[in-house]
Structures are given as structure tokens and as C-alpha cells.
Amino acid sequence: MPITEMLSRNARVYPFETALIERDPAHGSRRDVTWLEFENQVNRLSNALISRGVGRGRKTAILLMNCLEWLPVYFGIIKTGGMAVPLNFRYTAEEISKCLAASDSEILIFGPEFTERIEQIRHELVFIKEFVFIGESGRPEWARDYPEYIWGFTAKDPQVPLCDHEDAALYFSSGTTGTPKPIILTHANLVSAAITENRHHLQNHHDNFLCIPPLYHTGAKMHWMGNLIVGAKAVILRGVKPKWVLEAVSEEQATIVWLLVPWAQDILDAIESGEVDLGDYQLDQWRLMHIGAQPVPPSLIHQWKKYFPDQLYDTNYGLSESTGPGSVHLGMENIHKVGAIGVAGFNWEAKVVDEDGRLLADGSVGELLLRGPGVMRGYYNNDSATEGALKDGWLYTGDMARRDPDGFIYLVDRKKDVVITGGENIFPVEIEDFLRAHPDIKDVAVIGMPDKRLGEIPIAVVDVKKGRDLTEEQVLEFCQELARYKRPRKVFFDEVPRNPTGKIEKPKLREKYHIKLF
């Protein structure tokens, strides 16, 4: 069945139960919708879009911060038979223009935070037929008001027949290693993500998922779909301050929270500094904290378990090309293997191969390949990239990994991020995990920089915890336990740039520190 049928079923079975809650602590506001209200909003937008010619093959883009309207807009688009195109809210005006053009979008639904950026490029967007504004105030004269846009349209289901293997959405790759590419996901892909997520984390109707990461990305949305499949509520939190996260868990009785590494570290730092007191919150019902989108330092989880000893933990691995998380996961029962990304997820296969695609022995480092129901249909209008990523039914992830004798997979690094110094391969994640064990280091990134003699050398960009002091000499001394060729040659103290899903934006660091070194 198409993913939209899960929503329709919830509206029939749980019409007056809360489906979504939006909390905006910065403005002291809270809003919610029931499953029936959710479905009615979806149907009105869908019927409005259909009246304007949206249907199979037509693209409608979403450029919104996380908000109560985000998911109804998404479902309203795909219920037409057309494709939703979520856009990264950090895109510059130029990137917005490029992605809209690359996706062949014809309608753009956007929020007030993006008006200025769209103004800069509106003359280029001749292919956008309508701009639709969602916000309480500040609508530009060239955009339609969202409530007015759907006003008068029926809340009845448009009854567009949808096939599981029809295209549902275009998601852009994270772009951490280059220009983002549009990824085609089908209804079957989305449904498989919901099933896998629920199988892994055992959501039931009484769970409550606290959603913090951006909804434009597959990660947050596909984790939420584990709740969708059983009609369980979710909280959309606007803001990631430790106090706001703990307040939301406590006041909304959240049971599952997906965090990124920096956010988990911020919560731990706030606890240790006395900024928050866990005794002020009702947290007994919080049964699961899980992390994905990036390698997870074992030291972080060991520290987390000191404060939350009875809480379950899981690591999730995936890509937009695999419809988000779950293609590999640690498993809530396998915390003794923390540091691994885990084993192949429900309905998935995984293997580690050499450059010729041959299976490698346990312990050897090679590229991680995935096969399963979440593998994308391909890159949109990019046959060469599709052929490079999909071979014989396997997705070539571009991630370097190794498998231990127990079958657990450890992520080593991105293939493009490997540093080759004097003929030796250095995997930055290994050094980053080592450095994050330092009590004064909040975050760290290791990159390779050109060197006349060795080809490349590793350097570390270190973000020090608030109120702590650290020198380059102290960091280098701490690294003496590493093999000599793995030790960073230089240390810079700076904030580590991460995209909204927590991945380190290493191209930005390479550009910045190449100038400083050479």
C-alpha cells in the first residue's frame, strides 16, 4: 500500500487522538493536530494542487523549517500522485535555485525564513508557476497565502490510485562531498522504512517520538514513520537547547528521542555543569535514545549511560539513497558492541568489498554495500551517477567499513575522506573518536591537507568545551598513544561545522585551513 494509506487508516481508527504536537520554546507556543485534522489538511492541499494540474511526474518543493504544517504538506503533495521535493533549510539562495531547477519543481511552498533568499533568485525561477507562503505574517505580494490557497477545497480523499512502485519524492543527497544530487524514492521505499523502523524499535500506539532533526531529511521523517505505522503521536521540537529537550520529554511524556552526537554531548555537558538538574524532569518513561547520521564515539555512550542507566540505546546507519536509517543498526540488545554501526537491518543485506567488488575477509577495510527494499530507484536525470551507485542490485555507499568476526560492521570513514600519508591510509573517524575521549574536547574533525613530502598530512580542528582551556601542545601530547603516522601534525581551535543532520562539513574545513597551512 502507499504510505498515504497509513495516515488515512489512523484518521479512521484514531480520529480524535493527537497525532502531532509542535513546541516552540523560544516563543512559548504549543500547537497540535489530531489524526483526522492531519488527514483533512492533507486532502485539502492535495485537492488544491490537483486543481492546478499537479499529478504524476509533477514536482512540488517544500522549503520550511520544522513546523506543524510540514508533514501535512508533504503528504498532501504525494497524495496527488506527484512528487514532494524537500529542500535543505540551510541552502543559500544559489543552492535553492539550482536544486529547484535540477528537480524540475513547478510549485514552491515556503516559510517566512526564506523570503529574502527567494527574492534574490526569483527572476531565475521562471519555471516556478506558484509560490505558496506558510506563516503568520510577512507574506510577500508575489506569493499565495497557504490558508487561502486551500480554502474551499474538500477534505475528502482525492482518490488518486497510487502504486507502490510509483515515485513519491525527490530527496537531495547531503552534499558533504560535493553538489547535492536528487534521489528518487518510491512509495514502496517509504513504506519499507516505516516497517524497518518499527521492527527495530518496537513502537506501539502509546509511544511518543520527540522529533528534533530537520524533516526535509530522510532520517527524522523515517524514524517518525515507525510511529505513523501504529498511530502513535509525535512532538516536533523547534530548538535543541538541552533544557528544551528535557522539558519536552518531561511535559509531553516522550518515550523515544533520536539525537545527533553534538546534541547528546550538549545534554551531557549541561548535566555536568549544573545547567540542568535531571531531578527537575519526569524522565522515567523515556525508554530509548538512539543516534544516527554520523559515527558515534563509544565514550559518548558510556558517559550517557552513567546518567540514564536504564535507558535503551541504538545506533542507526543509512543514507538518503537507502531511504534513510535502518539499513544497518546496532540493535537495542547489543550495547556491548557500541562503536559498531551494527548488522544488516530488517529485510536488508550488507557486505564489505574491495575495489573490484570482491567480498573481503573479516577485519579488512573496504566499501560498504547494501541491498534491500529501501534502495533508491536512482538519481533523477543522472544515469551516470546511478550506474556508479547501483550495481547488480547493490547500493555502493561510498563509506569505508570493516566487519568483525561476530558479523558487526564498523564504519571507518567516507571513501573520499581517507587521508593517504606516505602511502599509509588514515581514517579520520578513528582519530576523531580517539580525541573525543579527551575530557576537555566537545567536538573534533580531522582532515587531510596537502604536503610536499608525504602527499597529505592529518590535521585536527578542535572545539573545546565551554569553560575549559586546551593548547595545541596538550592535544598533540594526548595523541602520543596513536601510531605515529596517525597523529595530527597541526591543531586548530575552532567550531566544527556540521550540516543539520550532524555530518561534518569537511569541504568547508579543507577550504578554510588549506589557506592557513600553505
pTM metric for this prediction? 0.84
Domains of the chain: 3-12+32-186 (3.40.50.12780), 317-417 (2.30.38.10), 418-517 (3.30.300.30)
Which residues fall within 8 angstroms of residue 234, CB to CB, at 6 or more apart? 19, 20, 21, 208, 209, 210, 211, 224, 227
pLDDT at 311: 96
- Per-residue DSSP letter, 66: S
**Average pLDDT, integer, range 96-101:** 94
The band of 176, judged by pLDDT with boundaries at 50, 70 and 90, is very low
Provide DSSP, 128-160.
--EEEE-SSS---TTSEEHHHHHTT---S----
- Average pLDDT of span 457-480: 91
pLDDT of 145: 97
Q: How far is CA 87 from the centre of its chain?
A: 12
Q: Span 88-101, mean pLDDT?
A: 90
- Asked whether residue 47 carries a pLDDT value surpassing 50, the answer given is yes
200-214, 279-293, 472-486, 498-512: range with lowest mean pLDDT: 498-512
Instruction: Name the percent of the chain lying above pLDDT 70.
Output: 94
Top-confidence residue, 11 or 513: 11
pLDDT number for residue 494: 92
Query: How confident is the model over 415-464, as pLDDT tens digits?
Result: 677 786 755 677 788 788 889 889 899 999 998 887 755 667 888 999 99
Bridging pattern class, strands 324-329 and 343-344? antiparallel
Average pLDDT (112-130) is 96
Q: How confident is the model at residue 177 (pLDDT cuts 50, 70, 90)?
A: very low
Residues facing 34 on adjacent strands:
18
Q: Per residue in 299-308, pLDDT tens?
A: 889 999 999 9
Q: Is the pLDDT of residue 516 over 60?
A: no
Q: In angstroms, what CA-CA distances link 153 with 41, 60, 156, 220, 391?
A: 10, 18, 9, 30, 45
Q: Is the pLDDT of residue 200 over 90?
A: yes
Please give the average per-residue pLDDT across 259-281, as a whole number. 92
| Burial group, residue 310, by CB count within 10 angstroms (0-12, 13-18, 19+) | exposed
Q: In whole numbers, what is the pLDDT of the chain averaged over residues?
A: 91
Residue 31 pLDDT exceeds 70: yes
Q: Reply yes or no on whether the pLDDT at 501 is more than 70.
A: no
**Residue 92: predicted pLDDT:** 86
**pLDDT score at 511:** 78
Q: Output the nine-digit C-alpha cell for 359.
A: 567480498
* Residue 218, amino acid: T
Give the whole-number percent of the chain exceeding pLDDT 90: 71
Higher pLDDT, 150 or 399: 150
Residue 53: the pLDDT is 96
Locate all alpha helices (DSSP H) within 376-423, ordered by sequence.
383-389
The pLDDT assigned to 466 comes to 86
